Every structure is written in C-alpha cells, then in structure tokens.
Structure 1
Amino acid sequence: MREWTRVLFSAGALTAAGALLLIDTGTKEYMRLGESEPQIISVLFGGDLMFDRSIRAVAEKSGEDFLFSCIDPTLAEADVVVANLEGPITSLLSKSVGSTPGDLHNTTFTFATTTAALLARHNIRVVNLGNNHIMNFGRGGLLETRAWLAGAGVRSFGDPDLPEEDRVLRADLRGIPFSFVNWSDWTPVGKPLASNGAGEPNPTVEQIMKEKEAGRVVVVYTHWGEEYVAPLPRVRTLARSFVDAGAAIVVGSHPHIVQEKEIYKGKYIYYSLGNFIFDQYFSEEVRNGLLLAATFDRGGLRSLIEIPIRLEQDRRTCLR
C-alpha cells in the first residue's frame, strides 16, 4: 500500500490537512497508513470527470496535466483512484468547445484521445462508464472509449453495452478481491429509465448479492438522482437496498454537488461526491467537491477520510 501522509487517530479527529476522519475500524490502536501491513489497500474515490468544453480548451493551451497540478500529490498517495468518466474518449471533433449553456451541443461531450493516458498518469486507474453522457457519440464512441482506456491500462465498469453481469469489474487488488458494481439511472441510449428500480426486482441488487456471496469486497458506484438538489426518496431506497445486498460502501455521482452522507447498518452511503474535473462555477455548491480516501482489507471498509476539493476558474481542481 502506498503511504498516506496523514495519520489516523480516532473517529472525529482532524488530520494535518484538515480532512475529517470518519471511521477507523481496522484496529483499536493508533495506526499510520504507511506501516507495512499485508492485504490493505488505499482507494481514493472522486466524482465526475469532464474533459470537454472549456476544460478541453485550457488543456490544449496549458497542457492536460495542468488540470491536476494542484491535487496530483494527493492522487499519487493512493494505490488506485476511482472516478466517473462523464463522456466518451473519441477521435471525433468536439461539439461543445466554444458553446454556451443552452446551446444545442453544450452537453454533448467527447474527450481527446490523450485523455486515457492522462488518467493513467494521475493514478486514475478505474473509471465508471455507467452514466448519461457515455453514449453521447453512440455505440461507436463507447467502443472507441474502451479501446483507448485499455491501451492506457485504465480499467472500467458499468459499460452500458454489456449484460449486467459483465458490467462488473472484478479485480484482485493487493490480494483483496474487489467487485466494482455500477447503478445508473440511464439506459444505454442515455435516456432516464421509466422506472428507476425502487420497489421492483432489481438486477443490480441481485448482482451485488452474487459478488458478496463469492467472497468479494463490493463497491457500488452510482450515477443517479437529480442535479443540484438533495437525494430523492427513491435514491435513498436504492442505496439502502445495495447495502442490504452486501455493498461495503456506496459512492454516488451525477448531481454535481456534494450531497449528504448516511450510515446505514454500519455502512457508508455517499449520495454524491460532486464535481472532480468540471467547468461549473455558478455557485459554491457546484465548485466544492469531495474525495474519499478509503482503506480496505478482506473484511471490507477499514477507514475513511473526507478530502474537500474546489474547482478553480483556471480549470484546475485544488484542495480546499
């Protein structure tokens, strides 16, 4: 496990960086996350990554790595970073660069073919594809995304073109068997589902149960809800059903703001981490995001730290 520079003391303690330690379930004694200990892994979770529109324009002018220059040391501390890739990676021309809100293609995204390598350079090695923008350029855009990610060594889950069982990423990380499972409110063509699963037989719940029964640590990463508002009742119902089925943690994206967290049956539910890389600045809520620094062992979640981040108008994301 890579060394985290922060020291975990006890629940509610503040780290040197000001981040709040939420839990430390791994030991009754104080521990430092750099100590040699078998089968412990650090995973950093982030929210929505968007590399088109003005983000793409700045990257072309100042270099792609500029976007991460504030937070790269934090990303490098983790064994792996997991986030939501909010659009396809294709060789097609951008339709959103130069657009303004309300324009026809302002939310039609495609990311430069160098994006996959950019992710890998900054330790973002696992991405979610189950969202409302991944099909912005159709199945061809999705297939191209797969190829670019694979070529850069970035793994993915939630691929809407695959059957439910095959959307799961099963990976042994430092000897710990993980299953990354996606829930998305959108169909493969990017339209909201007529019924979003609450109160009905849910194939995602069934898949979580299968992964848990196989002895795997199940991480559920979602793309759900309504933008800029609190979690909807049916989203809360879904989240709790995922925990009931065996999820070690539920991490949400899509609303573009940090929503509340909940502890349900001893498991953490983060309804939305907000923006990670994005060009939204119209309120403090959309500018302020959250990273989660988690450690896991074979038993599940061991410790968790919240790391606040902020979108700067120069298009970098920095620690807050």
Structure 2
Amino acid sequence: MKNIKEYFLLILFLIFSFSCSKFEKKDSKNGNNEKIKDKKEISIIGVGDIMLGSNYPNEDLLPNTNILKNVESILQNADITAGNLEGTLFDKGGDPKKCENPSVCYVFRMPSKYGKYLKNAGFDYLSLANNHSNDFGEVGILQTMENLNSLGIKYSGIKEKAEYSILEKDGIKYGFVSFAPNSKTVDINDYEYASNLIKSVKEKSDIVVVFFHGGAEGREHEHITRNNEIFHGENRGNVFKFARNAVDSGADIVFGQGPHITRAIELYKNKFISYSAGNFATFGNISLSGINGIAPIFKINIDKNGNFINGKIISIKQESGISKVMLDTRNSATKKIINLSKADFPEGNNLEILETGEINKK
C-alpha cells in the first residue's frame, strides 16, 4: 500500500513539474515578445551616397580594397542601417547610358562581389532611387535587384518594380520608400503619389523610413532653397516641401541624398529629417575635394512610435585616390551641419547639435 502511495505521489510530482516547465517556457516566450513589442528605443543609421568603385569603362577605376573596412563596426552598431546605392551592382553587360556632356555625366557599375562588403558592413536597406540606378538600362536594374536579393538586403525606389519594401526585425516591421526625379524611379515631384504610397506603407509597418535623392549638386548648392531646384535643366525637386509632405503622410524618419555635399537637418513634428548626407563611401570619378570629401553618419534613436529621442553625427572624410572611408577627428561634417542648420532654419530647427556630434531635442 505504501509503495502504491509513493508511486502515485511520484506521478503527481512529475505531472506538476512538467506543467510548471511548460508554463515557464510559455511565459518566457511571451515575456520576450513583450520585451520586443515594448522596445523603448530603436536605433537607425542613415548614410549618403555609396559607390564603392566602378568596373566601367575599365577596371582601372576600382579600388584595391574594401573602402568600408574602417567604418564597419560603426555601421553594424544599430538596429537598422541604410544608405543610397549610387549606381548598379553587377559585373558585365547592360546598355550603358549615353551622355551628351561626359564632363557632367558618369556611368557606374560596381562589381557584384562588392555586395558582400555592403552585407558585412551591416546594411539592411539600400535606396535605388537616384540618377545612376538606370546607368545600364533594364538589365542593370534587374541584375542589381537580383544581387541584393541574394544578399538579403532590402531595396526600393524603382517605379512599378520595387516601389517599397518591408523588413521585419526583432518583432518590428520597417517600411522603406525611396524617391528621385530620374527615369525609372518613383517620382519625387509627384507629391500626391508619394503621399499615398507612404500612407499605404505605414499601414503595413510600424516604422517608415523614407529616402529621397533630390536637390541641385555641388558646393554652390549647400543651402535648402525651399523652392524647386533646377540642375542642368532637370527639376531636382523642392526637397523641403517633399520631406515635410513625407512626414505629414506617415514617415518617421527622412534621409536625403543627391547634392553630393552635406546639408542641414531639422526636427519636424518630432520626426528627424536630413536634407543631404553627401558622399559617404565613393571612389573613382566622383569629386572629393573640399566639402565634397566630408560627410556624416547619422545614428538616430527613435521610440516605437517613430518619434525622435536623440542622435549622433559621426563625421567621416574621404580623399581622392585614397581607397578608404576615414573617421574625421575634426568633426568637419558636424560643424558644417551646425552652420547650415542655423542659416537655413533661422526660425530654429528644433534641435541642439553639439560640435562633438550629439543631437538633442530643444
């Protein structure tokens, strides 16, 4: 009788232990989900133009190394890392565009193996909305998208083919949308279409990141005019109107590119806007003299509703003929952004930017 009682108690103990274990696992799983769901801070890195070297018209224009190597650890240190892929990513073929004035027109084809440099650096998303995504016609666009797919890097910005993308990471859905004034891209100048597209992506995601490629190019065009900017006869858009329209439509953060130099930043409706992040990682036929050779890495911290908490500008520099992106101990890009933000937003940009790179809300 005693043995039967002991056996019965042992069975009850095993059942109880199994139930507790199952409950703890379930509770732990739910706890992890809640932790992800209630994530208090999300970090997003945004950088400017990326053109790691072109094998067209010949391989003499390629660097002898991975120019991202020095900044890999910085780029990897965020929940999301994104930038603008200024050109195509494939090895040979396609229809190179013809230029009426070669002195102001360049054609870029990065070797497909360079895609691994981007992946290893931590890029989650690359914008294809720019004036070089169509450098090799339909073949170049499709091959670039295929290579990015194989790397697991999201992209958008191509009209009808890739107008947006969604990435789910750590339980958060990020929507990406990119715009430019160029052939084959989603049009920066069609405000109504842009607004509707951003709204539709917002419905599918928790955080919406918008990239644009707009504004006139070069050191004479550092300032935001708040008007349409015409460059070489092309309407490069009213980037001020576009960026604010993007936020009004649901964008949580806006990263601008296009002028090849750094521009001002602002906080609008508690959402961060950068109007140009300049030449981030470029090699070959791109001018890097003076202010063209300095650029920011923006690391922006937002809450789960996309509202700005704080940020950091990490200043980098490049020099012609030197095949690497270098940290700039003088913080030149940061100082430039401070001055431009004061000049272009005399009413205030709602941000305090320190020369050391910290960005805080006023």
Q: 1:215 to 1:62 in 2, by over 3 A?
A: closer
Of Structure 1 and Structure 2, the greater helix share is in 2
Q: Is the 8 A contact 2:88 2:144 kept in 1?
A: yes
Quote how far apart the aligned CAs of 1:161 are: 4.6
> How many angstroms apart in 2 are the aligned matches of 1:53 and 1:215?
35
Q: 3-state DSSP class of the match of 2:89?
A: coil
Aligned-residue identity in percent: 26
TM-score, length of structure 2 as denominator length: 0.67
Pairing partner for 1:276 from 274, 280, 286: 280
1:93-132 equivalences under 5 Å are 103=102, 107-132=106-131
Tell me if structure 2 keeps the 8 A contact 1:50–1:87: yes
Shift of 1:160: 3.1
Q: Distance in 2 between matches of 1:111 and 1:139?
A: 16
Partner residue, 2:354: none
User: Residue 90 of structure 1: CA displacement?
Assistant: 1.8
Q: Deviations over 1:14-53 (max 9, x none)?
A: xxxxxxxxxxxxxxxxxxxxxx986344321110001235
Structure 1 runs not aligned, ≥5 long? 1-35, 97-101
Report the 3-state secondary structure (helix = DSSP H, G, I; strand = E; otherwise coil) of the residue aligned with 1:263: strand
Between the aligned partners of 1:61 and 1:208, the Cα distance in structure 2 is 37
Residue 289 (str. 1) matches residue 286 (str. 2): no
> What SS does the aligned partner of 2:52 have?
coil
Question: What is aligned with 1:85?
Answer: 85
Secondary structure of residue in 1 paired with 2:115: helix
SS at match of 2:76: helix
Count of residues paired in the alignment: 269
Contact 2:166/2:205 (<8 A) preserved = no
- Alignment of 1:221 onto 2:211: yes
| CA deviation vs aligned residue, 1:37-87 (integer Å, no higher than 9, x gap) | 863443211100012359995885633x2x122212212222332011111
Structure 2: where are the runs of 5+ without partners?
A: 1-34, 227-237, 329-362
Q: Would the aligned equivalents of 1:222 and 1:252 in 2 still touch at CA under 8 Å? A: yes
Provide TM-score, normalisation by structure 1. 0.75
1:204 matches 2:194: yes
Q: Which residue of 2 aligns with 1:73?
A: 73
CA–CA distance in structure 2, aligned partners of residues 213 and 306 of structure 1: 30
Q: Which residue of 2 aligns with 1:257?
A: 261
Q: Distance in 2 between matches of 1:61 and 1:271?
A: 29
Task: Answer 1 or 2: higher relative contact order, Cα 8 Å, separation at least 6.
Answer: 1
Which residue number in structure 1 is paired with residue 159 of structure 2? Answer: 160
CA contact (8 A) 2:94 2:137 kept: no
Post-superposition shift, 1:133?
0.5
Query: Superposed, which structure 2 residues align to 1:16-95 within 5 Å?
Result: 39=39, 40-53=41-54, 62-63=64-65, 65=66, 67-92=67-92
CA contact (8 A) 2:54 2:61 kept: no
Check the 8 A contact 1:95/1:108 in 2, yes or no: no
Greater Rg by CA = 2
CA distance in 2, matches of 1:58, 1:257: 26
SS of the aligned residue for 2:182 comes to coil
- Compute the displacement of 1:241 (Å): 0.9
CA deviation after TM superposition for structure 1 residue 205, in Å: 0.8
Q: Show the counterpart of 1:142.
A: 141
Displacement of 1:213 after TM fit? 4.0
CA contact (8 A) 2:53 2:61 kept: no
- The counterpart of 1:298, out of the listed 300, 304, 313, is 304
Match of 1:231 in 2: 224
Alignment deviations for residues 252-296 of structure 1 (CA, whole Å, 9 cap, x no partner)? 011100001122222221110001111444532110111111234
Q: 1:185 aligns with which of 181, 185, 188?
A: 181
Distance 1:222 1:156 in 2: 13
CA RMSD after TM alignment:
2.9
Residue 316 in structure 1 maps to residue 324 in structure 2: yes
